[in-house]
Amino acid sequence: MSTSLPALLAAMPKAELHIHIEGSLEPELIFQLAQRNGVAIPYASVEELRKAYAFTNLQSFLDIYYAGASVLLKEQDFYDMAWAYLRKAAADNVIRTEIFFDPQTHTARGVSMETVVNGLHRACVDAKTMGVDAELILCFLRHLSEEDAFLTLEQALPLRDKFIGVGLDSSELGHPPEKFARVFAKCRALGLHLVAHAGEEGPPAYVWAALDVLKVERIDHGVQSVKDPALMQRLAQDRIPLTVCPLSNLKLCVFPKLADHNIRQLLDAGLVATVNSDDPAYFGGYMNDNFLQTFAATGLAKEHAYRLAANSFEGSFAEAGAKRRYLERLDQAFAAQG
Ligand SMILES: Nc1ncnc2[nH]cnc12
Ligand SMILES: [Zn+2]
C-alpha cells in the first residue's frame, strides 16, 4: 500500500543531531518552573511570552532564550525539561537524539554542573523505555572567553561518562572558531566527539576554521557554505554532516521564506545534510514539523526523505552496530509504505 508523503515523513525513523535542550523549554513549562522555584519572569502570561518570540536575527533570539533558561534551578527541573522533549521526540519517531546543553548558562547563575548533567542524563537513560537512544553534547558559549570554556570543561570532566562530545554555540558573528582552538584540541585528546555551529549567519571562513582548526566531525547549520564552491566540495568529499534546521533558519531570518531554503541545493551537491529542530519551543516546530513544512514549501520528494533520514543515522555518533540497526528500520519503514 502506498502512503502519502506527509505520513511517510512522520512515520519514518530518524535521528535528531541538533537540538538545544534549553530551546525545548515551552512557555507553559517556563511558567510552571518559575512558580515552583519562585523565580520572577518579566511576562504576565504564557501568551505574552509567546508574543515576544518575534526574532530578526540570532542575537534577538538568544537574548530571550537565555532569559527563559533562568527558571531552571534544580536537578528535577533539568529532568522535566529533557523528559518533555524526549516524549515529543518519541512521538515523532526519533529513535536517536544527540542533545546539546549549555552549562555556562546555568553555572553562571550558581547552578552546579552536577545538577545540570545529572538531571539531563537521568532523562536520557529513562528515554530507553520509549525506544529513544539519547546522548548529551556539552556546548561552550562562544561569546564567553576561552578561559571560561576551559573552566567549564574542568567542571564537567568528573561527569565525563555522561556526555559524548562537545560543541560550540551562541553568538556566531565576531566569535570565530579559532578563539576555541586550544579547548577543542584538549577535548579531542580526551576522545570527545567534536561539533560546532558554523555558517549559520557567519561566513564560509568560519566553516573552514571549524573543520581545519577545531577539527570538528559535523557542522551545525552550515547553510552559508553554498557561497564557497571549494568548501562545498570539501564537505561532500569528506562526508561532513551538516545539521540543518529549516524552521530555525526561517524564524531567525536566514532565509526570507521556507521555499527559499537551500536544503535541496545541499542534497543535490552530495552533502550529508540532515533536518533538525534546533530550538523547537521558540521556532514553532519539533522534528516532524520541520520535515513536513520544509517538504511542503520546497517540493522535496520521497527519495529526499529517505536520504535525509539515512544521513541522520550516518552522521550520528552511534556505534556501527546501532547505525546498521537504525538503517534497517528505515528500510523496513520504506518497504512497508510502498
Ligand atoms: N541557532 C543557534 N545558534 C547558535 N547558538 C544557539 N543556541 C541555541 N540555539 C542556537
Ligand atoms: Zn543550534
For position 1, what pLDDT does the model report? 54
Tens of pLDDT along 291-317? 999 999 999 999 999 999 999 999 999
For position 3, what pLDDT does the model report? 83
Model pTM score: 0.98
Tens of pLDDT along 225-280? 999 999 999 999 999 999 999 999 999 999 999 999 999 999 999 999 999 999 99
CA-to-CA distance for 101 and 105, rounded, in angstroms? 9
In the numeric block, the cell 520546497 is attached to 298
CA-to-CA distance for 39 and 264, rounded, in angstroms? 44
- ipTM score of complex: 0.98
Closest Cα to residue 5, out of 288, 244, 311?
288
Task: Give the CATH number of the domain where residue 218 resides.
Answer: 3.20.20.140
20 is in an annotated binding site: yes
For position 183, what pLDDT does the model report? 98
18 is in an annotated binding site: yes
Closest Cα to residue 80, out of 40, 22, 141, 164?
22
| Ligand 2 center from residue 60 Cα (angstroms) | 14
The residues placing their C-beta within 5 Å of ligand 2, an ion, are 278
What percentage of residues in the chain have a pLDDT greater than 90? 99
Catalytic residue list contains 200: yes
CA-to-CA distance for 278 and 308, rounded, in angstroms? 16
Tell whether the torsion through CA atoms of 227, 228, 232 and 238 is positive or negative: negative
**Which residues form the domain of 11?**
5-337
Q: Whose CA is nearest to atom 1 of ligand 1?
A: 278
In the numeric block, the cell 568528573 is attached to 158
Other C-beta atoms closer than 10 Å to the C-beta of 312 total 31
Tens of pLDDT along 54-78? 999 999 999 999 999 999 999 999 9
Tens of pLDDT along 119-176? 999 999 999 999 999 999 999 999 999 999 999 999 999 999 999 999 999 999 999 9
Q: Calculate the average pLDDT of the chain.
A: 97
Q: Which helix (H) or strand (E) holds 127?
A: none
| Ligand 2 center from residue 125 Cα (angstroms) | 23
193 is in an annotated binding site: no
Structural domains counted in the chain: 1
- Ligand 1 binding residues, C-beta < 6 A: 20, 23, 58, 65, 169-170, 197, 200, 248, 278-279
| Ligand 1 center from residue 169 Cα (angstroms) | 6
